[in-house]
Amino acid sequence: MSTDNGNKKELLWQSRFSEPFDREALLFSSSVDVDKILYQEDIKGSIAHVTMLSEEAILPVEEARMIIEGLEDIEQEIASGALVPDWEEEDIHTVIENRLKEKIGPLAGKMHSGRSRNDQVATDTRLYLKRIINELSNELEALKQLLVEKAESYRHTVIFGYTHLQRAQPISAGHYYLAYFNMFKRDSERLEDLLKRVDISPLGAAAFAGSTLPLNAKRSRELLGFGALFHNSIDAVSDRDIIIEFLSACSVIMMHLSRFCEDIILWSSTEFNYLEISDAFSTGSSIMPQKKNADIAELVRGKTGRVYGDLVAVLTMMKGLPLSYNRDMQEDKPPLFDASKATVSSVRIFTKMLAHTKLNEERVAMLTAEDLSLATEIAEYLVRKDLPFREAHRITGSIVSHAITSGTPLPSIPLETYKGFSGLFENDIYDALKPEASVNAKRSHGGTSFASVDEQIRVAKEMMRDR
Ligand code: ARG
């Protein structure tokens, strides 16, 4: 089979070979379509490197100036669409270098002194991660802020709390929203912690073993605004832990969002009818005119699987790689960018949708007032009257069974009947059977009483301030 060697542009390493690279092989190996996202980071990294080279007298100041000006022009060209990165080059680093050559001639080649695409791409990736972590953290802040507001406005609204998706006990809706606040708080902490390991400059590691040129890696680090510098050049070019950590943090965020979405989808159904998503965030059906679907929540839930897949893709890609750099690692980028986009956009749209969702307070109040989920109150009432819990549980079970067979809500069962189950019942049983009283009696630490929820709101606000 013959090779197709009609390549338009020269590849960076072509001179060693007697035959041009096959076009189909180039199409297969090019990452331009994916890594063009990194053009700003790539140019920033090159400018820092060239600045360092000139400060160390590895490159004459005038030449460095020409290279830097050329790079700044190229950044404009790509931003404006005048230069469209083309797959017929290997990667974004090559696109930029070749364009620079067109602009300033062979001098462009000096930009790469003491550098390899291995430390270059590691640098770009870390700069990108810093940018995206910052963006994602800001989106999470907005979501947490909204959750505190929701908790505040619904702190005196009593809703059902569920276990096993069965009505379990009445709780403050504020308590419910704060549970999600706590999850997203941990997500923010995870990102913040991860940032410490992302904020390390790998520039100066060169291909993997270092360079014979008198590079000043500390200065490059400083110019790029990284907090710390790599310790081992082999590790600097071959480590992808930070991507894996970021993708796991994204996976956990998506898992939290997905659970929240599941609640919202269920609760907005006609059967539950606990909440209403505004029309602006609902979709209709092309065939069933009555339908109002929670597509945004469903899509966020759906994207969760993708993000898990991205994590597993990188973990699997890395597991068999010998040290140090291997081209397999180029495959880290599609999952990284895919998960970044999915997670940032999910948190963002979810927050917007949640802001336009309201609880159907009247309906939940009506339902909770009549519900069997107050049964635990009866058991605890008897415990307060000194009955062992097991016995109290047994008696309450019989009362629940009576309520079901007679079709009488617990608060409507007459005192005489209660007394028939246990002589310990007095008129105050009806106080215990008010959902609000039930909620307010749960004063234990972190519990659902209004006072405890107020305290949790106070702590949440403090956490937001301390950020
Ligand atoms: N596009 C490559 C990547 O993302 C850049 C590094 C190429 N290095 C090499 N030795 N071929 O990994």
Q: Are 373 and 165 in contact (CB under 8 A)?
A: no
Residue 35, CA distances (Å) to 109, 128, 136, 216, 237 in order: 21, 11, 20, 27, 17
241 residue type, one letter: D
The DSSP output letter for 293 is: B
3-state secondary structure (DSSP) of residue 4: coil
Q: Cβ neighbours of residue 129 under 8 Å, at least 6 residues apart?
A: 198, 242, 243, 246
> In angstroms, what is the span from residue 116 Cα to ligand 1's centroid?
9
The CA distances from residue 16 to 22, 66, 102, 212, 294, in Å, are 15, 28, 22, 21, 58
Closest ligand 1 atom, CA of 207? 10
Q: Does 248 sit in the ligand 1 pocket, CB within 6 Å? A: no
Which CATH homologous superfamily contains domain 371-461?
A: Fumarase/aspartase (C-terminal domain) (1.10.40.30)
The topology (CATH level 3) of 20-113 is Fumarase C; Chain B, domain 1 (1.10.275)
Q: What is the pLDDT of residue 276?
A: 94
Q: What is the mean pLDDT of residues 396-416?
A: 94
Amino acid (1-letter code) at residue 456: Q
pLDDT (0 to 100) of residue 5: 67
Residues 335 and 307: their CA atoms lie apart, in Å, by 8
Catalytic annotation on 164?
Answer: yes
176-206: pLDDT as tens digits: 999 999 999 999 999 999 999 999 999 999 9
CATH of 118-205+231-365, one of 3.40.1620.10, 3.90.320.10, 1.20.200.10, 3.40.50.360: 1.20.200.10
Of 236, 234, 253, the closest CA to residue 311 belongs to 253
For ligand 1, whether the C-beta of 329 sits within 6 Å is: yes
Over residues 240-258, the pLDDT tens digits come to: 999 999 999 999 999 999 9
CB 363 within 8 A of CB 273: yes
Average pLDDT taken over every residue of the chain: 94
Distance, CA 335 to ligand 1 centroid (Å)?
16
Q: Cα of 236 to ligand 1 centre, how many Å?
A: 14
CB 170 within 8 A of CB 158: yes
Collapsing DSSP to helix, strand or coil, 264 comes out as helix
Compute φ and ψ for 277, nearest 5 degrees.
-90, 135
- Are the folds of 118-205+231-365 and 371-461 the same? no
**Does residue 285 have an active-site annotation?**
yes
Beta carbon of 97 within 6 Å of any ligand 1 atom: no
Indicate whether 297 pLDDT > 90.
yes
Q: Is it the case that residue 3 has pLDDT exceeding 90?
A: no
* Cα-Cα end-to-end distance for the chain: 62
Task: State if residue 120 touches ligand 1 by the CB under 6 angstroms criterion.
Answer: no
Q: Separation of 325 CA from ligand 1 center, angstroms?
A: 8
- Model pTM greater than 0.85? yes
What is the structure's pLDDT at 7?
Answer: 64
The pLDDT tens digits for 39-49 are 999 999 999 99
Catalytically annotated residue among 2, 15, 18, 164: 164
Contact 83, 74 (CB under 8 A): yes
Q: Is 91 in the pocket of ligand 1 (CB under 6 A)?
A: yes
Tell me what pLDDT residue 6 has. 63
More confident call, 330 vs 281? 330
Ligand 1: which of 112, 117, 321, 332 to mutate, most ligand atoms within 8 Å of CB?
117
pLDDT of residue 319: 98
Q: Cα(39)–Cα(32) distance, rounded to whole angstroms? A: 10
Question: Which atom of ligand 1 sits closest to the CA of residue 90?
Answer: 1
> Which atom of ligand 1 lies nearest, measured to the CA of 325?
10
8 pLDDT band (50/70/90 cuts)?
A: low
Q: Tokens 């065939």 identify what position?
A: 287
Hey, where are the domains in the chain? 20-113, 118-205+231-365, 371-461
